[in-house]
Structure 1
Amino acid sequence: MTPTARTPAPFDLGHPFAAVRQEIDRLFADMAGLPAAAPRMDVTETDDAIVVTAELPGLEDEDVDVTLTGNLLTLRGEKKIEREEKGETRHVIERATGRFARALEVPAGLDPQAVKATMDKGVLTVTLPKPAAAPATGQRIVITRAA
């Protein structure tokens, strides 16, 4: 069996252009997704509530505005870079900055007064209690004789 020379493909980590390709792939993925400053969200549902969790690293509760208008939950805020320049030269800054707004349609009939929002270590959790169950529709109604 004779060993054959193999030219590494550009996606091999040993290829000299692998880092460039990874950066280009990351840029295209970023352009296809959400704006850089937009928070990533998880939405889960339990028996009695809808829970929205958003990653907001570096933000405090006073930097974020949460509103429920009708059946639209909106998260707004602004990510900023605090700069303290003392003779340093920045070559690369990869933190996302800017204003963001994310809106999520939730079921109608939620009580805005019952919504709770907490912030812990850059993670915002919004709990929207579900309204009491409405009576089932389509139930058979028993007819009684009039007296």
Structure 2
Amino acid sequence: MSVRDLIPWGRNNGNQVPSLLRDNDRDPFLSLHREVNRLFDDVFRGFGSGLPSLSGASSFGGGWPSVEISDNEKEIKVTAEVPGLEEKDIEVLLNDGVLTLKGEKRSETENKDRQFSERYYGWFERRIPLGIEVKDDQVDARFKNGVLTVTLPKTEKAQSQVKRIAIKS
């Protein structure tokens, strides 16, 4: 067997033009169908918020909930937007310098007059590496109007490790 036998095109005839298309890809309607499906997938991938996921992972997409992280000399503040959830639906964990936000959303809508019922379940988990030491016993988490705010006070050692670097031109 030669190396030429391993090439998927041109095995039978050495003068054959290489074709990377499979036989079923030559159908123009099948190509159009695949292209339209790809366009719809690209459009709906951008929404990522409330559309159910068929992958079995988080129904909210990889970036849910949206978080805002602010860092000053004394503390780190993490704010997460979790509309539609209640305090009991959210869990906040701090382990080995990683803040974890976990939760589950359950929603059921039923309209017996129109014979309509819809159920929506989904879970999320966001892990945020802090990269510095925090005072574990003084971490504060508050939830109000669909916004979770976690305040993580820095240790004195972490506060003193911040060094200002001069910018040279």
Specify if TM > 0.5: yes
Query: Structure 1 segments of 4 or more deviating over 4 A?
Result: 22-25
Does the 8 Å CA contact 1:30/1:36 hold for their aligned counterparts?
Answer: no
Question: For residues 1-147 of structure 1, what are the structure 2 equivalents within 5 Å?
Answer: 26-30=43-47, 36-37=59-60, 38-88=64-114, 97-133=121-157
Structure 1 residues 90 and 48: CA distance shift in structure 2, 3 A? farther
* Percentage of identical aligned residues: 35
Does the 8 Å CA contact 2:59/2:123 hold for their aligned counterparts?
Answer: no
Structure 1 residues 53 and 115: CA distance shift in structure 2, 3 A? same
Deviations 1:96-141 (A, max 9, x none): 74011100101342122111000110010011011113666xxxxx
Structure 1 residues 88 and 116: CA distance shift in structure 2, 3 A? farther
Q: Comparing both structures, which one devotes a greater share of its residues to helix? A: 2
Question: Aligned-pair distance for 1:23?
Answer: 7.0
Structure 1 residues 89 and 44: CA distance shift in structure 2, 3 A? farther
> Within 2, Cα distance between the matches of 1:67 and 1:73?
6
- The two structures have a TM-score, normalised by structure 1, of 0.63
- The two structures have a TM-score, normalised by structure 2, of 0.55
Structure 1 residues 54 and 88: CA distance shift in structure 2, 3 A? farther
Counterpart AA for 2:73: D
What is the RMSD of the two structures over their aligned residues, measured on CA atoms? 2.9
> Within 2, Cα distance between the matches of 1:79 and 1:61?
11
Deviations 1:17-38 (A, max 9, x none): xxxxx9765413246xxx5522
> Within 1, Cα distance between the matches of 2:107 and 2:132?
37
Does the 8 Å CA contact 1:115/1:127 hold for their aligned counterparts?
Answer: yes
